[in-house]
Amino acid sequence: MEEKVLRFWKERRIFEKSVGQHQGSERRFILYEGPPTANGNPGLHHVLARVFKDLFPRYKTMQGFYAPRKAGWDCHGLPVELEVEKELGLSSKTQIEEYGIEAFNARCRKSVFRYLKEWEALTDRIGYWLDMEHPYITLDRDYIESCWWIIKNLWEKGLIYQGHRVTPHCPRCVTSLSSHEVALGYREDAEDPSIYVLFRLRSYLQYEGDERTREGLKKLGWNRQKARWDASRPSLLVWTTTPWTLTANMASAIAPEQTYVLVEAPGPEAVVERLILAKPRLDAVLGTSVRVIAEIPGKELTGLYYEPPYPLTEVKDYRIVPADFVVMDEGTGIVHIAPAYGADDFELGQSFGLPVTHTVNLDGTLKQSEKPWAGRFVKDADPLIMEDLKERGLLLKAGRITHTYPFCWRCNAPLLYYAKKTWYIRTTAMKDKLLEGNQEINWVPGYIKEGRFGDWLRNNVDWALSRERYWGTPLPIWVCQGCGHYEAVGGLEELKEKAHREKMEESGYSLEDALKDPHRPFIDRVLLKCPECQNPMRRVPEVIDCWFDSGAMPLAQVHYPFKNAELIDKDLYFPADYICEAVDQTRGWFYTLHALSTLLFQRPCFKNVICLGLILDAKGEKMSKARGNVVDPWSVIKAYGADALRWYMLTACPPGNVRRFDQEQVKEVMRQPFMTLWNTYSFFVTYANIDRFDLRTPAPPLTSELDRWIISELNGLTAQVTQNLDSYDPVEAGREIEKFIESLSNWYVRRSRRRFWKGENDQDKRSAYHTLYNCLVTLAKLMAPFAPFVAEELYQNLVRTQDPTAPESIHLTSFPVADHSLIDRKLGEAVQLAQLHSSQGRAARAKAGIKVRQPLRRAIIEAEDIEWPLLERLVTDIKEELNVKEVVVVQSIPLEGWASDPSIVVIITEGGPRTAVEVELTPELLKEGRAREIVHRLQSMRKAAGFDIADHIATYYQAEGELEKVLREFAPYIQQETLSRELLAWPPAPGAYQETHRIDGEEIVLAVKKL
């Protein structure tokens, strides 16, 4: 069915028509498609996001909004490079450069769309309507040009700078990462060494510092007269989880306001050591059995000299310095400082004039050719360094620690904090604006606003923009070889104007190549002429963060400002009304969109955003290839259809929750609501065909209470769904629709059955047909954004077959609008009450073990303050539903007494009204029960014999005793219910369908024959 609908949409170009019919409308609804990378197969989590992205534009389109939806593909960056490296068997940047940047990037370009067909097929199959014929592609020349324009704009505002700082650095990819990329790769269970190391104080002192320091020295046992230590030399006790950084130690930091202690403790070689550490850390680190010799205020330690484990030629004196980041909840209160490998270390180093010396290469291997760990990767060098410290008696304790540590989000290498020059966007300059803009955004779930996203903005750091890589938008900054002047280029025309053509010709470089493809290496060959000194300028080697590309999509997708300027300047395609991705994008795409739009226009870039929770497997485990629990979306769609999967994803749990994906629940959706809806629809079609019901006959006024009720419910539902979708709450909308389907099938249709069965086409019957038809068509429209396939099928069969002038697809119709004048809340409540008492009454029967077919004398219900007409309605419903002769309404059913009487069963709900039924059976009631039982058996036999619902039959029976009496007494009733023109106490006529039954211990032979 769904595939037929897909073909129909495609042949008739329904998507294009649905967007096109509102083109030019003042009411616009803009969705920004967060661009996926098409170099991997799309998975279930992509389906989740795409289903949510699809829902709202469909809804808004039906409401008359113009809602264009442009597809996009993210093409640049490490993910692509990494794939190609694997393919080519390259493992380092040197190897890539030997292979050639031009050839490497050509491979990257090719690999980008490897899974494009799979993406398009899946997008199509799940019914995500998106303009995939005109996508934006981040590697396009026009797209890159817009990115350059943005960079130039920020450059002119002074928001781009090159900083020498410690940045998160991936040693495998050999590039900086931005803080939002780092945020993607934290692991909570990273295991590292945890070691306590001795830094011995110097044994001679040329300088004893000021009064304060001399005071501290005295307490530590320095004998100034003899110029030596009175007892053994004290050591600073230092804790680290990165032993390799000890090779670059340049200072040790303490908290000046804290108290430190000098203690005697057993050292590494069983000799007693004198150790210095913060007093609050003493118990945790050394236990309670050590002897405290002295207490020293932190500030008296500052300025003391010590010997680092690995002295560097660049540093003469190693000193204790004060710092405000030394904490007392871990370590020893003494922090070893390696300015090259920590952000705090770097800052502190700068303020004390320490050099930044690297003992580690950019690829994470150690320099220090004289050491055994030379050339080893830092983490592999750790054990060797610990071994060395141990041999020298400097390692007090060594263990392992499990803590949170960042890893490269693409290649999984542990990140290093590494001091180097990197280009930054000064987002911190706009921090207040970023926070202000966030106030205008509607986050779903709401707690993201001040939580995850707000926190991220409050702790904003400048955006590390540059990547020392190959496949990306080149950073359009040139530097003069003569005078060091910098120029940013904001477009290809500007590039042409500024190019140093003579110099380029001399070198045999082509400007045309770069204009055609502004990627590396072509752009690297473009030289500019320095406006200051006329010397040639070269481009800096970096490319930019691919997250910049995706954050630039609002402008770059329309090639702003080179084309379509009015779309942005007049707010026609900016900001977005709605975006939706997984919650990890709060620090990724959501952030880069927000940051760029704030820096450029001082305003946010999207109004509403849904952050989707992660998808786990049914047991709550992460899906991974290794576990073998990855669910292939195709298999789910094949088994249950796209609509069932969509419905499940949209309504199973609030969008932000972590969800456990359970195929069984998708199967359940097939049953309920879809099968229930389908059965109701089939019921209508079957009877409408039998009666040749003509829709064009005018609908009679709603005289039936039942019709008035379901129409009231329908309008209430319409209002509810509209309100839920307007507040981006598809879960609630979906649940309301499910409830309505249940009411329609299990109350309205069931209780209207007789109206459809009866012979003549009177007004009441016509009213029932019109009402049910109205419900089904409206329901289909309400469901269309959720379950576009089923909705289309219903619409085509119910509407288009009747009225060829109707819009050719349900998705071209208008979303229903609630008529509040038709909503009767009191009636709704009365029916709800009837439903409640019916279900409680049925439970009471079940408890007494009496079938519903057995009539009972009386039901007693609790009800108060109901108006008479509603009460009448209530009583009629309950009488029929519970198959009782009488319903008695009382103010209250006493629990005591009644419950102990075995002829009465009371059922109580949690705080709600109570229902009771009398279960005592009189001979009359028993007879009637048997009559109903016989009708029931005959109905089943009609079905088994393959008769049509409307077929008239002859019924034959052979029975004795009680059953025979019942058949005679209730003959008219049995005939009417089973459409039996004849009810004969004869042996079956030839060709009749025959069965033998036992009812209440008596045997009866029944037979039916079509007339």
Between 366 and 405, how does the x/- string for binding to Zn ion read (CB under 5 A)? ----------------------------------------
Q: Which of 533, 618, 630, 888 binds Zn ion (CB under 5 A)?
A: 533
Backbone φ and ψ of 854, nearest 5°: -80, 115
In the complex with Zn ion, which residue's Cβ is closer, 408 or 721? 408
Q: Do residues 161 and 566 make contact, with C-beta atoms less than 8 angstroms apart?
A: no
Q: Do residues 698 and 762 make contact, with C-beta atoms less than 8 angstroms apart?
A: no
Which residue in the block uniquely carries the two structure tokens 């779309």? 567
Which is catalytic among the residues 54, 74, 388, 877? Answer: 74
In the complex with Zn ion, which residue's Cβ is closer, 411 or 1005? 411
Closest approach of Cβ 106 to Zn ion, in Å? 22
Is there binding between residue 531 and Zn ion (CB under 5 A)? Answer: no
Pairing assessment for the beta strands 980-984 and 953-959 based on DSSP bridges: parallel
Going by C-alpha positions, the residue among 467, 453, 385 that lies closest to residue 177 is 467
Going by C-alpha positions, the residue among 337, 123, 106 that lies closest to residue 240 is 337
In the complex with Zn ion, which residue's Cβ is closer, 411 or 614? 411
Q: Which of 187, 485, 607, 885 binds Zn ion (CB under 5 A)?
A: 485
Instruction: Please tell me the distance from the alpha carbon of residue 330 to that of residue 278, in angstroms, as a whole number.
Output: 11
Closest approach of Cβ 77 to Zn ion, in Å? 11
User: Which among 194-202, 409-417, 505-513, 684-692 is the span making contact with Zn ion, rule CB under 5 A?
Assistant: 409-417
Between 89 and 128, how does the x/- string for binding to Zn ion read (CB under 5 A)? ----------------------------------------
Structure tokens at 907: 């059922």
User: Which among 273-281, 406-414, 612-620, 742-750 is the span making contact with Zn ion, rule CB under 5 A?
Assistant: 406-414
Contacts of Zn ion in 848-887 (CB under 5 A) = none
Question: Coil, helix or strand for 987?
Answer: coil
DSSP letter for each residue of 884-938: EEEEEEES---STTTTTSTTEEEE--SSS--EEEE----HHHHHHHHHHHHHHHH
In the complex with Zn ion, which residue's Cβ is closer, 479 or 945? 479
Q: Which of 112, 151, 408, 580 binds Zn ion (CB under 5 A)?
A: 408
Closest approach of Cβ 534 to Zn ion, in Å? 7
For this structure, is 35 an active site residue?
yes
For this structure, is 74 an active site residue?
yes
Closest approach of Cβ 533 to Zn ion, in Å? 3
Q: Do residues 348 and 337 make contact, with C-beta atoms less than 8 angstroms apart?
A: yes
Kindly report the length of the chain.
Answer: 1011
Contacts of Zn ion in 291-330 (CB under 5 A) = none
Instruction: Please tell me the distance from the alpha carbon of residue 187 to that of residue 541, in angstroms, as a whole number.
Output: 31
Which is catalytic among the residues 421, 563, 622, 638? Answer: 622
In the complex with Zn ion, which residue's Cβ is closer, 418 or 661? 418
In the complex with Zn ion, which residue's Cβ is closer, 172 or 708? 172
Closest approach of Cβ 81 to Zn ion, in Å? 10
Closest approach of Cβ 83 to Zn ion, in Å? 13
Q: Alpha-carbon torsion 749, 824, 810, 742, what sign?
A: negative
The phi-psi region of residue 445 (left if phi > 0; otherwise alpha if psi is between -120 and 50; otherwise beta) is beta
Is there binding between residue 535 and Zn ion (CB under 5 A)? Answer: yes
Backbone φ and ψ of 832, nearest 5°: -60, -40
Is there binding between residue 532 and Zn ion (CB under 5 A)? Answer: yes
What ranges make up the beta strands (E) of 526-683?
528-529, 536-539, 543-544, 576-582, 606-612, 615-616, 659-660
Closest approach of Cβ 64 to Zn ion, in Å? 48
Instruction: Please tell me the distance from the alpha carbon of residue 320 to that of residue 205, in angstroms, as a whole number.
Output: 14
Q: Which of 446, 482, 894, 987 binds Zn ion (CB under 5 A)?
A: 482
Instruction: Please tell me the distance from the alpha carbon of residue 201 to that of residue 281, in angstroms, as a whole number.
Output: 20
Instruction: Please tell me the distance from the alpha carbon of residue 182 to that of residue 174, in angstroms, as a whole number.
Output: 14
User: Which among 474-482, 744-752, 774-782, 860-868 is the span making contact with Zn ion, rule CB under 5 A?
Assistant: 474-482
Is there binding between residue 362 and Zn ion (CB under 5 A)? Answer: no
Total chain residues near Zn ion (CB under 5 A): 14
Which is catalytic among the residues 73, 239, 547, 747? Answer: 547
Closest approach of Cβ 779 to Zn ion, in Å? 51
Structure tokens at 296: 């020293």
Closest approach of Cβ 466 to Zn ion, in Å? 15
Instruction: Please tell me the distance from the alpha carbon of residue 293 to that of residue 285, in angstroms, as a whole number.
Output: 17
Closest approach of Cβ 412 to Zn ion, in Å? 7
The phi-psi region of residue 366 (left if phi > 0; otherwise alpha if psi is between -120 and 50; otherwise beta) is beta
Which is catalytic among the residues 9, 35, 135, 700? Answer: 35
For this structure, is 443 an active site residue?
no
Between 413 and 452, how does the x/- string for binding to Zn ion read (CB under 5 A)? x---------------------------------------
Residue type, 103: A
Four-CA torsion 798, 801, 807, 808, nearest 10 degrees:
110
Instruction: Please tell me the distance from the alpha carbon of residue 353 to that of residue 6, in angstroms, as a whole number.
Output: 69
In the complex with Zn ion, which residue's Cβ is closer, 480 or 863? 480
Pairing assessment for the beta strands 235-240 and 306-307 based on DSSP bridges: unpaired
Backbone φ and ψ of 305, nearest 5°: -100, 150
Q: Which of 103, 227, 284, 483 binds Zn ion (CB under 5 A)?
A: 483
Q: Which of 5, 480, 688, 979 binds Zn ion (CB under 5 A)?
A: 480
Closest approach of Cβ 491 to Zn ion, in Å? 22
Closest approach of Cβ 403 to Zn ion, in Å? 20
In the complex with Zn ion, which residue's Cβ is closer, 165 or 469? 469
Which is catalytic among the residues 585, 720, 840, 854? Answer: 585
Instruction: Please tell me the distance from the alpha carbon of residue 131 to that of residue 118, in angstroms, as a whole number.
Output: 16
- Which residues have CB under 8 Å from 560's CB, separation 6+? 146, 149, 567, 568
Q: Do residues 676 and 741 make contact, with C-beta atoms less than 8 angstroms apart?
A: yes
| Radius of gyration of the chain, Cα coordinates, nearest whole angstrom | 40
Which is catalytic among the residues 148, 423, 471, 589? Answer: 589
Closest approach of Cβ 501 to Zn ion, in Å? 17
In the complex with Zn ion, which residue's Cβ is closer, 364 or 604? 364
Question: Coil, helix or strand for 175?
Answer: strand
Angle between helices 2-12 and 788-795 (to 10 degrees): 80
Instruction: Please tell me the distance from the alpha carbon of residue 173 to that of residue 637, in angstroms, as a whole number.
Output: 38
Contacts of Zn ion in 157-196 (CB under 5 A) = 170, 172-173
User: Which among 28-36, 523-531, 592-600, 962-970 is the span making contact with Zn ion, rule CB under 5 A?
Assistant: 523-531
Distance of CA 417 to the CA centre of its chain: 30
Is there binding between residue 411 and Zn ion (CB under 5 A)? Answer: yes
Structure tokens at 1009: 């024959």
For this structure, is 547 an active site residue?
yes
Going by C-alpha positions, the residue among 3, 8, 4, 1 that lies closest to residue 811 is 8
Q: Do residues 833 and 863 make contact, with C-beta atoms less than 8 angstroms apart?
A: yes
Which is catalytic among the residues 316, 625, 804, 891? Answer: 625
Which residue in the block uniquely carries the two structure tokens 């010397």? 535
Q: Catalytic positions, please?
A: 35, 74, 547, 585, 589, 622, 625
Binding region for Zn ion (CB under 5 A):
170, 172-173, 408, 411, 413, 480, 482-483, 485, 530, 532-533, 535
